[in-house]
Amino acid sequence: MAVAAKIADLLGGLLAPPVCWSCSGLSHRGDPLCGGCRASLYRLTPEPVRLCGVPVWAPLAYSGPARDLVRALKFRGAMALADAMAAQIVANAPPGLLEAPLIPVPLHPKRLRSRGYNQAAAIAEAVGRRAGLPVRDCLLRAGPSITQVGRDRAERKAGLAGSIEFQGGAAEAALLVDDVVTTGATLAACRDALAAAGAREVAAVCFARTIGR
């Protein structure tokens, strides 16, 4: 059976070779990007930045191929990309960052029903498997279902549309996980909910961060 599976996998690769999620060129099996797109990734420094008072770290800038991967996971259902994103996070995280329980930024229930999954939770689960960390899905988004996409910087900084509620299961230290961060307003709302529940240290890790934030 193992030999048959290997043959099937090989034939599948010949019939449908792996394609780069950014430029649609050929890539190596198991790699979501071709060599050229991978080389063009804009890598950020290992130092976290503070956004709305939350220490935030991301390995990549939200531009080019990294932006294409985020959009493929979020809007095209490419769930396998969550592990590739987690690999970037775990391989490049500064020392001491990946130590607290992982808490995915919640998706509004209406959007969750429509999409069928929370991309932040998928990344958190993949990071947890690679780093040996627990994942606690303890936050709930309530109120209006308004996406941050399309809101300008002033609207994003003014606050999150709706609210974040705590459901139980947090710890004294927590590490929020999301796919991309812009102003940090959503992370701040999550931090406030966790702090109200007793968390003393809250930081965040994302796959990509908007340049200039």
Burial class (CB in 10 A: 0-12, 13-18, 19+), 23: middle
pLDDT tens string for the chain (213 positions)?
455 444 444 444 445 578 999 999 999 888 999 999 999 999 999 999 999 999 999 999 999 999 999 999 999 999 999 999 999 999 999 999 999 999 999 998 988 898 999 999 999 999 999 999 999 999 999 876 555 555 455 555 545 656 899 987 767 899 999 999 999 999 999 999 999 999 999 999 999 999 875
Three-class DSSP category at 10: helix
Please state whether the predicted TM-score (pTM) of the whole model is above 0.75: yes
Map out the domains of the chain with their CATH numbers: 1-39 (no CATH), 41-209 (3.40.50)
Residue 162 CA to residue 105 CA, distance in Å, equals 14
Residue 63 CA to residue 60 CA, distance in Å, equals 8
Which residues, in sequence order, are CB contacts of 140 under 8 Å at separation 6+? Answer: 106, 109, 164, 165, 166, 167
Closest by alpha carbon to 147, among 137, 156, 138, 136? 156
